[in-house]
Chain A
């Protein structure tokens, strides 16, 4: 079945440091790929997405490129802020039989702490 493997945390960085969180996936077909973020005490929010190979998703200074050849979707940010402290989840979508809608398969999440 489909699966997502992401870098184990926790990750602790100083403000303005460079961030990379690795994510690789196993899937049949051509899933869409997502990064979701979960701030303390909140639900998940979509951070960025890419729907086909070589697409780059970007938002709030974060970027990730859909690499089909390496089955990867690594998250990067050039200069992190304290407010970026959260748990980051890599996910892929695949179809749910019988409908036109999708379910997400998530990685285990990576806790990022940014210190001032």
Chain B
């Protein structure tokens, strides 16, 4: 069983640039969620994708956007980067046919973004 994988693991951008982060969900899972974890804080929910559509969103501005593909993989895009966007971005997968839905999420190791 393949777990959740994310890329890149680390990246550095400058203010105003755009970034795309990628995530492959765990085998059999059809839902992908993205979280932002600032240094010393708990993860904050950005949004969730289910059946290739956004299915719930946290308190993040529209410059945070995403996609989900037919194979359930996902991208997180952030435009007009700000210094405060520096964080660990975590992808989590869940759900799927035959998968008991108890609210448990399976996390990748994250993409650490530094904005200078």
Chain A residues at the B interface, C-beta cutoff of 8 Å: 4, 31-32, 34, 36, 41-46, 49, 51, 89, 91, 93, 96-109
Q: Out of A4, A44, A45, A93, name the residue touching B103 (CB < 8 Å).
A: A93
Q: 4 closest A-B pairs (Cβ-Cβ)?
A: A93-B103, A106-B42, A96-B56, A102-B103
Asked if B24 is at the interface of the complex by the 8 Å CB criterion, the answer is: no
Contact of A49 (CB < 8 Å), options: B40, B42, B102, B108: B102
B105 touches A104 (CB 8 A): yes
A97 contact from B56, B107, B108, B110, Cβ within 8 A = B56
**A34-B48 contact in complex given A43-B109, A44-B43, A107-B42, C-beta closer than 8 Å:** no
The interface size of chain B toward A, counting residues with CB under 8 Å, comes to 30
| B109:A42 contact, CB within 8 angstroms | yes
A104 to B15 CA separation, bound complex (whole angstroms): 29
Near A by CB (< 8 A), chain B positions 56-114 give 56, 58, 90, 92, 94-95, 101-110
**Which of A43, A93, A101 interacts with B110 by CB under 8 Å?**
A43
A-B contact count (CB 8 A): 86
**Nearest A residue to B101 by beta-carbon distance?**
A100
In the assembled complex, which residues on chain A have CB atoms less than 8 Å from the CB atom of B50? 96, 98-99, 101
Of A49, A51, A97, A105, which is within 8 A of B45 by CB? Answer: A105
Render B24-35 as a binary contact track against A, CB cut-off 8 A, 1 for contact. Answer: 000000010101
A93 to B102, CA, bound (A): 9
A32 near B55 (CB under 8 angstroms)? no
28 A-B Cβ contacts within 8 A?
A31-B103, A32-B104, A34-B103, A42-B109, A43-B4, A43-B90, A44-B107, A49-B102, A49-B103, A49-B104, A89-B42, A89-B43, A97-B55, A98-B56, A99-B31, A99-B51, A101-B48, A101-B101, A103-B33, A103-B45, A103-B58, A104-B35, A104-B43, A104-B103, A106-B42, A107-B42, A109-B41, A109-B42
